[in-house]
Chain A
Amino acid sequence: MLGRTLREVSTALKQGHITPTELCQKCLSLIKKTKFLNAYITVSEEVALKQAEESEKRYKKGHSLGDLDGIPVAVKDNFSTSGIETTCASNILKGYVPPYNATVVQKLLDKGAVLMGKTNLDEFAMGSGSTDGVFGPVKNPWSYSKQYRGKRKQKAHGENEDSNWLITGGSSGGSAAAVAAFTCFAALGSDTGGSTRNPAAHCGVVGFKPSYGLVSRHGLIPLVNSMDVPGILTRCVDDAAIVLGMLAGHDPKDSTTIQDPVKPFTLPTLADVNKLCIGIPKEYLAPELSSEVRSFWSKAANLFESEGAKVIEVSLPHTSYSIICYHVLCTSEVASNMARFDGLEYGHRCDINVSTEAMYAATRREGFNDVVRGRILSGNFFLLKENYENYFIKAQKVRRLIANDFMNVFNSGVDVLLTPTTLSEAVPYLEFIKEDNRTRSAQDDIFTQAVNMAGLPAVSVPVALSNQGLPIGLQFIGRAFCDQQLLTVASWFEKQAQFPVIQLQELMDDFSSDFEIEKLSSVSLKQ
């Protein structure tokens, strides 16, 4: 049961094959079993069981709230949750229990979803590995999969397997791991430069970043307000569409959400792709791109072409400036957004009380890690009067050029862009930390980050396993507010790709009955 998709388990709940409480308990057991993954910062067991109980009552009365009623979900720990500690994986917010729910959290709860807990991340979502949070790194469930372990045994004998665990990618690594390890059926992430799509690709799940303004940011503790969007992590594209349908729409508490009413999302099944035009941005053929990813990317393009779609090479000429431009805009907003953490109203406060200034300084030094402090420092530098024109204003102009690149391509008739999500599959933690956070973020966001500059919807879909037995994802980018069209195309592709289910039997012997593991279905894109 746990291995199913959200829609499948929803059907099972409606038909009474399982009750919400049973489902919740199974997930809770699995969360405990997989505690070593460090996917959750807080497990809200009591709340979850209570919510499941209420859901059960509704089902019994026949008053189900819809597809999400009774469905276990997880939420990244940078969304405000009423009565549940919200830390952003930072010392500065340890012990902070918000008095309100983020709009997206409230919407999930209003639809009957059961909140299992708050997932791990890089401190304040600054990172691409989920390795830089105060609660420690998140381990990629695929590290323990039969697929990966099988391959490793062939290669290196005698190596200590436990020390070779893989990163999840980030910064929403906890949410991606939670979905990948079957501890919930959908999770909220956040996506500022790829933070939902990157870990989705590394963990073999779907990671969807909606159009900026389609989903409310109220209650999402900001990284970069002008680029942040709540992200959705699920096991399949259809599930992402269901969740998006529940979350999308105007929020009076977020003035940047669209005013127009959003119609309910029902993902049509695409019969064929004859009328589609798929763009392949040539600038995304980066030298650092692994040959395996490149090969799956071209296979995917070929698949579309062979099925009747028009596949053309397109150019996004300002792509190479995107990372540096992002660096300026991101750190500037970070410097501003982090100013409120002064220890006065909430969160950590140091013991020093010589003066207000000394208290601020010590509180912030103790509260933030090096990555956050480094970004605050650079951001304040860019915002200085003498630097503002040369850095911030210029970066804004470049941002416009990058957004225009996408506009031009879409105006030329392209429906959807197809790109890699990441340079390669997930790397071992020990490998990953050889580079610092800044270098890693710059490398890892390369395919995902420009999308945030332009506010476009994008989704990472797992395609196949690499030679090492690790998931590889590809990214589809759509027109602004054409999220439904994007997901329709992604869903079609997902069906063709037939990505294999993660095999975690060894890990979860007790649950074997819950996983009606199918035989590894033939992977059409297998090398």
Chain B
Amino acid sequence: MAAPVKRWSCVGKRWVLAYIDGGSRHGRGAAIGFTSRRKRGQSSVAQQPLITAQKSRKGEHEWEAVVGLEIHAQISSNSKLFSGSQVHFAAPPNSLVSFFDASLPGTLPVLNRRCVEAAVMTGLALNCRINKKSLFDRKHYFYADLPAGYQITQQRLPIAVNGSLAYSVCVGKKPSQVSTKTVRIKQIQLEQDSGKSLHDEPRSQTLIDLNRAGVGLLEVVLEPDMSCGEEAASAVRELQLILQALGTSQANMAEGQLRVDANISVHHPGEPLGVRTEVKNLNSARFLAKAIDFEIERQIHELENGRKILNETRSFDYKLGCTMPMRDKEGKQDYRFMPEPNLPPLLLHDTASLPPGADPQQVINIDWIRERLPELPSETREKLIQQYGMLPEHSFALLNEVGLLEFFQNVIKETRAEPKKVTSWVLNIFLGFLKQQNLTVNESPVTPSALAELLNLLDRKAISSSAAKQVFEELWRSKGKTPSQIVSEKKLELMQDQEALERVCHTVMEGHPQVVMDVKRGNPRAINKLMGLVRKATLSRADPTVIKKILERKLSS
């Protein structure tokens, strides 16, 4: 095993060089790497952008990629899966560790009811069959951040099986061309998270933080129904939204609450699936897509050069944009699964099977949970489309940012402006400002009420739309002011005074006899020039339609 692994790592390093030699830091690492190699006459593939590359090839050179995912979502719960320790992100190291979490001898697991409910909710939301009886197993391996030497998981009989997840991907260039796909869900299992290892290389020490050890995880296994990085990333994104809507996981990838392992293989159409590799610990949607696409291309490249794909575990180096074999996963792992003897089978009930007189604290009723499921993202989007005549891609955009939908709905509540106007302002201007300054919706200096008021001013034509943008900028800068205050301070209200406008128009025409002549000679664009001059003279405070009317009247008289 050691030799081939070494060869892989060499290949990886050469790509690293190729990437830097390639001289460009703007393109995709993988493609550049291949391009560079092609220049040296070693490769003839993958000159094209990644995803289309597989599809555009014909005949025997055609490849199909198959991608399956294992997603670990940290359950949002007060305490850990089998102990009473609190669950917090970024607490001081080893401050949230019970005797059980540190695997003190003699301690026993006690299942957290909240985690079971979260698993059932998630299973129901993902159209799974909930197993009324599920079992816990021990999965053994030695690692410094796994104090017991085994992880308690559900290998034989998981809590939920056979579900599905619908997600959307863009098919064409335009964002409006959205296509819905479905990935099957093999199973959802409850299991323990491990602790964290911090490697202090200079002192050759490993520091262990057990705060995360024993936190409940939902492992969601997606069947290999996806074919590229973008599909996988979209599926993960949709799952993330579902988990957040359910409240079963905060699913924040940056905080490690959602971690993805991808299984990837390539094969010729009509032939059996190829040998797969596993890329582990992908912690952002962007890296997930990149890592998968890189890995697909790497496998195709290897196979086309007569080499073999090893069934191995790889990690993604986000700085270099490539996958590498994982050193500590070398060799054959035998997890020596065994039933967890300290936990009796987990029994769930539905209303029909509920034992009479059962203590509600001791039983979990699947039907009861089903009735109380919150609205799922797909339903929310459908409602938006129905209620506001929104475009599907806008409904996606609204749900994609945490808190954006709520912001939108709050604006809608307080404004007379049309929903389409509100959508446009929220998605284009508001979101644009947030993105530019890298803020979340909650951190926005502009409140929904302020935006609603601004849109009201616009709606009753008290200000022009370009003035509205100015007001918005001012709102963003100076917290606490209302749009009306800004409008009056900056004198941005539309000039309603007809006589004054007439006077301005008159002055402009007098000052530009040549342009007036042009209009009269029949140049249709000349009137626009006059309008521009009037707007300038009014500091954009005039309604363009009104100006046009006045000018037309004056010119024809």
Contact = CB atoms under 8 A, between A and B. Distances in A.
User: Do A and B associate with each other?
Assistant: yes
A88 B104 CA distance: 13
A107 to B, nearest CB: 15
Interface string B342-361: 11100000000000000000
A481 interface: no
B49 to A, nearest CB: 42
Contacts of A98: 104-106
Given A225-B341, A340-B149, 13 more contacts: A98-B106, A99-B104, A218-B106, A222-B105, A253-B108, A256-B343, A333-B341, A336-B140, A336-B150, A336-B336, A339-B140, A345-B104, A384-B334
- Report the 4 A-B pairs with minimum CB-CB distance, sorted nearest first: A339-B149, A383-B336, A225-B341, A226-B341
A8 B360 CA distance: 45
Interface string B236-248: 0000000000000
Interface of B: 99, 102-111, 138, 140, 142, 144, 147-150, 204, 206, 208, 334, 336-338, 341-344, 362
A252 B108 contact: no
Given A255-B343, A256-B342, A339-B142, A217 B337 contact: no
B103 A340 contact: yes
Contacts of A86: 105
Interface in A317-350: 332-333, 335-336, 338-342, 344-346
Contacts of B103: 340, 345
11 contacts: A96-B105, A220-B106, A255-B110, A255-B344, A333-B341, A336-B336, A336-B338, A339-B140, A342-B149, A353-B204, A392-B338
Contacts of B109: 255
Given A80-B105, A252-B110, A344-B144, A335 B362 contact: no
Interface residues of A, number: 47
A380 interface: yes
Nearest to B148: A340
Contacts, number: 102
B334 A344 contact: no
Dominant secondary structure of chain A at its interface with chain B? loop
B437 to A, nearest CB: 44
A380 B140 CA distance: 10
Contacts of A340: 103, 105, 147-149
Interface string A434-458: 0000000000000000000000000
B336 A384 contact: yes
A383 B99 CA distance: 27
B108 A218 contact: yes
B468 to A, nearest CB: 62
B114 to A, nearest CB: 16
A515 interface: no
A341 B142 CA distance: 11
A340 B140 CA distance: 10
Contacts of B105: 80, 86, 88, 93, 96, 98, 221-222, 340-341, 346
Interface string A365-399: 00000000000000010011100100010000000
Contacts of B104: 80, 98-100, 345-346
B205 to A, nearest CB: 9
B341 to A, nearest CB: 4
B338 A253 contact: no
A483 B102 CA distance: 35
Interface string A158-196: 000000000000000000000000000000000000000
Nearest to A219: B106
Which residue of A339, A383, A385 has the most chain B CB atoms within 10 A of its CB atom?
A339
A468 interface: no
Nearest to B336: A383
Nearest to A335: B336
Dominant secondary structure of chain B at its interface with chain A? loop
B511 to A, nearest CB: 84
A221 B342 contact: no
A254 B204 CA distance: 40
Nearest to A347: B105
Contacts of B344: 255-256
Which residue of B99, B204, B342 has the most chain A CB atoms within 10 A of its CB atom?
B342
A79 interface: yes
B338 A333 contact: yes
Contacts of A360: 142
Interface string A205-232: 0000000000001111110111000000
B338 A356 contact: no
A368 to B, nearest CB: 13
Contacts of B108: 217-218, 253-255
A133 to B, nearest CB: 16
Given A335-B336, A339-B150, A344-B144, A102 B342 contact: no
Contacts of B149: 336, 338-340, 342
Nearest to A92: B105
A145 to B, nearest CB: 35
Given A80-B105, A340-B105, A345-B147, A332 B110 contact: no
A407 B347 CA distance: 24
A344 B208 contact: yes
A256 B344 CA distance: 6
A302 interface: no
A218 B142 contact: no
A357 interface: yes
A524 interface: no
Contacts of B342: 225, 254-256
B98 to A, nearest CB: 10
Contact of B144 (A254, A259, A356): A356
A357 B501 CA distance: 85
A371 B468 CA distance: 82
Which residue of A88, A98, A338 has the most chain B CB atoms within 10 A of its CB atom?
A98
B148 A339 contact: yes
A383 B339 CA distance: 11
Interface in A79-117: 79-80, 86, 88, 93, 96, 98-100, 102
A254 B104 CA distance: 15
Which residue of B106, B108, B149, B338 has the most chain A CB atoms within 10 A of its CB atom?
B106
